[in-house]
A and B are shown apart, each in its own frame.
Chain A
Amino acid sequence: MGEDGETRPPSRSLPILSTGDSWGMLACLCTVLWHLPAVPALNRTGDPGPGPSIQKTYDLTRYLEHQLRSLAGTYLNYLGPPFNEPDFNPPRLGAETLPRATVNLDVWRSLNDKLRLTQNYEAYSHLLCYLRGLNRQAATAELRRSLAHFCTSLQGLLGSIAGVMAALGYPLPQPLPGTEPTWAPGPAHSDFLQKMDDFWLLKELQTWLWRSAKDFNRLKKKMQTPAAAVTLHLEAHGF
């Protein structure tokens, strides 16, 4: 966006007419309007581009965040104390296979769009798989229902991310054979460790949703900037 009045986009330049050279500004405006149909960034009526789908994905992450809050409350209560206590923070023991959302800030900044989206996609496809396993384990029908509902929503998010990637022309990551996470409650996995994993799954899911919201917000801003940049360029050209 422009820093002063002269470099603002045309829609915002009207209020300064009274103060500046009105004839000059009018000429500028006319020039801008003349060139407007030629601006590629604004000339996307047929194909809206990834912008709206990024916005949708962002909205979906925020919605899922909200949905997860209630689901986690229910599920942690189901796990029983101390899992449902606010300050409960168990070590991340058996949850090593879960995709980690926490990442160094510098590393996160240095990620490019493709990598960012790929990581998101991979993480959610893993988390979804674990979540489905959780659903199979749940003892009460009500819990199963809310888990299934959340799974559906998460599936939607996954599709949404895939859509954004497709819009930006990135290929979808192929699941490597053998890395497909499996839910093995086997005899070696005690109920307690299972509960720890469940706890971490929900926690990771929450962190991922936070991170995705940031990711998509960043992506959204990035997608908006080119249009503004073109406008600026045009204005400079008009003078």
Chain B
Amino acid sequence: MSVDQFEHHLKFFSSSRTDCIARMMDIFLCLKQPSRMVDSKRMRMTSNFQWILLTFLLLYLMNQVSSQKKRTPHDLKCVTNNLQVWDCSWRAPSGAGRGAAYEVCIENGSHSCYRLEKNTKIPALSPGDHEVTINFGSSISKFTLNEKDVSFIPDTPEILNLSADFSTSTLHLKWNDKGSVFPRHSNVIWEIKILRKKNMEIVKIMTHNTTLNGKDTVHHWSWTSDMPLECATHYVGIRCHIDDPKFSGHKEWSNWSLLKNISWSSDSQTKVFPQDKVILVGSDITVCCVTQEKVVLALIGSTNCPLIHLDGENVAIKIHNISASESSGTNVVFSVEDNMFGTVIFAGYPPDIPQKLNCETYDLKEIVCTWNPGRPTSLVGPRNTSYTLFESFSGKCVRYKRAEVPTNESYQLFFQMLSNQEIYNFTLNARNPLGQSESTLLVNVTEKVHPHTPTSVKVKDINSTAVTLSWHLPGNFAKIKLLCQIEINKTNSVHELRNITMKGVENSSYLIAVDKLNPYTIYTFRIRCSTKPFWKWSKWSNEKQYLTTEAIPSKGPDTWREWSSDGKNLIIYWKPLSINEANGKILSYNVSCSSDEETQSLSEILDPQHKAEIQLDKNDYIISVVAKNSVGSSPPSKIASMEIPNDQFRPGVRYNFFLYGCRNQGYQLLRSIIGYVEELAPTVAPNFTVEDTSADSILVRWEDIPVEELRGFLRGYLFYFEKGERDTSKMRGLESGRSDIKVKNITDISQKTLRIVDLQGKTSYHLVLRAYTDGGMGPEKSMFVVTKENSVGLIIAILIPVAVAVIVGVVTSILCYRKREWIKETFYPDIPNPENCKALQFQKSVCEGSSALKTLEMNRCTPNNVEVLETRSMVPKTEDTEIISAVAERPEDSSDVEPENHVVVSYCPPVIEEEIANPGADEAGGASQVIYIDIQSMYQPQAKPEEEPENDPVGGAGYKPQMHLPVTSTVEDLAAEDDLDKTAGYRPQANVNTWNLVSPDSPRSTDSSSEIVSFGSPCSINSRQFLIPPKDEESPKSSGGGWSFTNFFQNKPND
């Protein structure tokens, strides 16, 4: 029983006229309803009696309440579905028949009573408590009724219509909110549920908010299914919740409406849905197969897909995050026993915003708009993007015809220009089944003219230096100005660009004059045009080649003359005119000679001939030559001729000639010429002095040679220098090209000084200078110069060797000092005294003792190999026990050892055997093995145990480097420190461990018999070399000096 109910009962109880106290006394007497009590009692057997009493009391009260109820109308409940009428009901008293009549009175300002059966509809009461009295025969029940106790449950809504659009998988729902019954505006929440399949799985529950406005309103709601509606039956139900702000009672949801369903009436043919659907890449899609047969397989492309079973044999598959389709779409195939069905899904993208939209015109008749489609949509054919170009001012539009996808990924559309419209506002709309996009462009076409290529370029003469150029430029440019560029190319010359601004014409023909050309020259013209204001140049037109017409030659040919060898004829030569001067093709030359008396003209001389011979006496003449082309003759070029007798001149003498012209007022100097009849070599050498000398250079200065002694035009000086003393050296054949003579040719005759560099200090040099003309070399002038001493170089030359010697000495000293021990050991080793060595004796005893061992080979025991033995000092030293423990830890290593190894240890004392008898070594067949293992642990703790045995018997005889000295040094035994010192130094070859193990230093050795002590010396067994204990100053001197130098290196300490 809930608290609410309980309170309700208490309220009811209090309103009854029954004497509560008196009844309570009865509880204890009667103790009715034992069954419930027993339960309580059992549970609280141990609790105190007061609790039990209280429980009884409570139970009794409740019982009374229920018994009271039964006699009077009780459980008054009121609900409303429209907030205007409350529908109240109560429980009839026991014994009341079906048609029993009640009188219900409500204290609502005025007292109103209704005579009703069972339940009643009462008008909505104002907020606050109202007393309701229900009389039923003699029993009267009183209730307090408040709006808060009234539940507001709206009427169950009714679906007016449910329709489906199968192509889009959309459900359309229609219902009436019946708002007219509600007095006030209030918000309504509609809850709509969608169920699917025959077993009505809930697919979706959605809410939809509306408001009531006092009128009946029909609402529409649509929902798109993720699964095609054909795949399964879809059910729709609706309920509502009205949120009236002024109503204070319980507002509850209405009941669900009757479900309406949508199903696809199949015609028993198997079909797959959706067919040919276009979806966005990355979305999810459900594909189903509506069939009567059992689907065995579903494939997306070639991928198998799990089946989702729907009603009957219908199945569906779900594709998540679909990727972009190939051009023919993604195939989905359902296989049944002997057939297959399928559909094609086109996954793509909506069109991208058209990029780089650009509109221009070629001819002001048609506008061309180009754009890039942007990201590919993956949709082709009928699903490809369609484009529409819309011009908003004129309202015209052009559609892009989807004929061919352009190969250069650029689309273009043509838009016919409208007369009197210059500004166009274009909107390019791109649309495909997945969406649309657009981009806009506002353009003034007169500023976006990109003219076509000019065609039909023609050239016509005006004169020899000007032509007219005409061309055709398609388009109507009457309203704008054109800017054209003419490129003029002359062969072997830089091309020239001329800009021309002209008014556009309607008929597309243009004509201009091009001047400032050269006559009789081949020009290549080409043209391109743009408009003003500039937007784009057209392409260059084709080149047009043109030869300008001829003009008269601009000057006469350069002419000179010569007397023929017999001195009777004058031969006149002239240079053919250059192309620029000829201005055409030179056809012929006219030559004439005029003297005071007569003028003699020669007949025309045709072009390739460039000389003429005239018979003349030796008078003064003026000869003129004229070149002629088809247009006319050049101005004459004239030369005058005068003879001076030859015998007046001498070679080597400079002459000055002055040519005066004879004028009306007198003579006028026309030209002066300096010359020699014949140049000769200078007669003297230039005087030269040494201005300055340094350690490595000499500065030489010389003087000019007088003109009289020069005897020609000075061409330069030759300067020679070589090492040499005044007495010993002479210039031996300067021109012979000796390598030690260096030559400098000074062609700059204004130069009067020369610095010779890169010389050696304090050296005598021989310098020679001579002048030369075209006539030959002049005489020599020589000089000896000694360069200065180079003091700095000298100091450096002394200092460096001294410094090097000092450094070497210091380094050597330091090295010697630091390695003094090592040097001592290497060069002056302490040789132990063989007399003190007891190993020989001991060896004997070892062999005797070990004869008991089966594995030992006695013949090897002969210690004839041992050459030197050394007695260790008897001072007991603590030896690290690491080695022993290593023995114990590695029994398996020992088992790897081959029996051959016994040879090595056959020399070893019985003591060892005793030691090895300790735990861990039981597997190791004998002392020999254990010792060998120690060798391993010493030299090669881990790797290659099998290599070692081969080396050991023989190699053991050789030197073993102290590779693993750190192994022993890691032992943290302070007592073993001096031992460590030893290990840091030289260690004997072969069984170092043997030595280590059984050395008297070892604590174990001390434990053993005294014989072992005598054994404790690093005696070489297999080696023929001397063994030197590390750093044992007290050891006797070596009796033999057989230490080789190679060993010296091998025994280098590792650290």
Our count of residue pairs bridging A and B at CB distance below 8 angstroms stands at: 60
The answer on a CB contact under 8 Å between A190 and B331 is: no
**CB under 8 Å from chain B, chain A span 140-195:** 140-141, 190-192, 195
CA distance A166 to B1029 in the complex (A): 120
CA distance A87 to B202 in the complex (A): 41
By a CB distance below 8 angstroms, the chain B residues around A73 are none
A137 and B380 alpha carbons, distance in the complex (Å): 11
B1010 CB within 8 Å of chain A: no
Per-position contact with B for A189-222: 1 when CB-CB < 8 Å, else 0? 0111001100000000000000000000000000
Q: Is the C-beta of A85 less than 8 angstroms from some C-beta in chain B?
A: yes
Interface residues of B in 821-850 (CB under 8 A from A): none
Q: Are A82 and B301 in contact (CB under 8 A)?
A: yes
Tell me which residues from 314 to 339 in chain B have a Cβ below 8 Å from any Cβ of chain A: 325-331, 333, 338-339
When distances are taken between beta carbons in the complex, the residues of chain A under 8 Å from B331 are 79-83, 192, 195
The reply to whether B333 and A190 form a contact with Cβ atoms under 8 Å apart is: no
Give chain A interface residues in 65-98, CB to chain B under 8 Å. Answer: 78-83, 85, 90-91, 93
How near does chain A come to B600, taking the closest CB pair, in angstroms?
86
Within the complex, what minimum Cβ distance (angstroms) separates A85 from chain B?
6
A139 within 8 A of partner (CB): yes
| With A91-B340, A191-B344 as contacts: A80 and B275 at CB distance below 8 Å | no
Residue among B299, B325, B327, B407 with most chain A CB within 10 A = B327
Asked if B381 and A190 make an inter-chain contact with CB atoms under 8 angstroms apart, the answer reads: no
Name the contact of A191 in the complex, choosing from B276, B338, B380, B405 (C-beta under 8 A): B276
- Which residues between 656 and 696 of chain B lie within 8 Å of chain A, taking CB atoms? none
* Complex: chain A residue closest to B331, CB-CB: A80
Q: Which B residues are CB-close (under 8 A) to A190?
A: 275-276, 343-344
Q: A190-B275, A191-B276 are in contact. Are A91 and B338 (CB under 8 A)?
A: yes
- Given the complex of chains A and B, what is the CA–CA distance between A85 and B341 in angstroms? 16
Distance of A78 Cα from B405 Cα, bound (Å): 17
* A141→B340 contact, CB < 8 A: no
Asked if B302 is an interface residue, CB under 8 A from chain A, the answer is yes
Partner of A141, one of B299, B339, B343, B405: B405
Q: Is there a chain A Cβ closer than 8 Å to B474's Cβ?
A: no
B343 touches A91 (CB 8 A): no
Question: How would you classify the secondary structure of chain A's contact residues: helix, strand, loop or mixed?
Answer: loop
Contact among A80, A91, A139, A195 with B301 in the assembled complex (CB-CB below 8 Å): A80
Whether, in the assembled complex, B39 has its beta carbon less than 8 Å from a beta carbon of chain A, the answer is: no
Given A78-B327, A80-B328, A82-B331; A139-B302 close (CB under 8 Å): no
Question: Cβ of A93: which chain B residues have Cβ within 8 Å of it?
Answer: 339
> How extensive is the interface on chain B, given as a class?
20 to 34
Let me know if B404 is at the binding interface, CB within 8 A.
yes
Residues of A with Cβ closer than 8 Å to B?
A: 78-83, 85, 90-91, 93, 137, 139-141, 190-192, 195-196
Given A91-B340, A141-B404, A192-B272, also A82-B333 (CB < 8 A): yes
Other than the known A80-B331, A141-B407, what 19 A-B pairs have Cβ atoms closer than 8 Å?
A: A78-B326, A78-B328, A81-B301, A81-B302, A81-B331, A82-B299, A82-B301, A82-B302, A82-B331, A91-B340, A139-B380, A139-B381, A140-B327, A140-B380, A141-B404, A190-B276, A190-B343, A191-B328, A195-B328
Question: A191–B299 Cα gap in the complex (Å)?
Answer: 16
Within B299-313, the residues touching A (CB, 8 Å) are: 299, 301-302
Is the beta-carbon distance between B275 and A139 smaller than 8 angstroms? Answer: no
Q: Complex: how many Å from CA A191 to CA B272?
A: 12
Q: List 9 A-B pairs, minimum CB-CB distance, nearest first.
A: A81-B302, A191-B344, A139-B380, A81-B301, A139-B381, A192-B342, A191-B276, A139-B327, A190-B275
Q: In the docked arrangement, what's the CA distance between A137 and B381, Å?
A: 8
Least CB distance from A52 to B in Å reads 41
Q: List 18 A-B contacts (CB under 8 A).
A: A78-B327, A79-B328, A79-B331, A80-B325, A80-B329, A80-B330, A82-B333, A85-B302, A91-B339, A139-B328, A140-B380, A141-B407, A191-B275, A192-B272, A192-B344, A195-B328, A195-B344, A196-B342
User: Considering the complex, which residues of chain B in the window 275-303 have a beta carbon less than 8 Å from any beta carbon of chain A?
Assistant: 275-276, 299, 301-302
If A81-B302, A82-B333, A141-B405 touch, whether A90 touches B328 (CB-CB below 8 Å) is no
Tell me the bound Cα distance from A139 to B383 in angstroms.
10
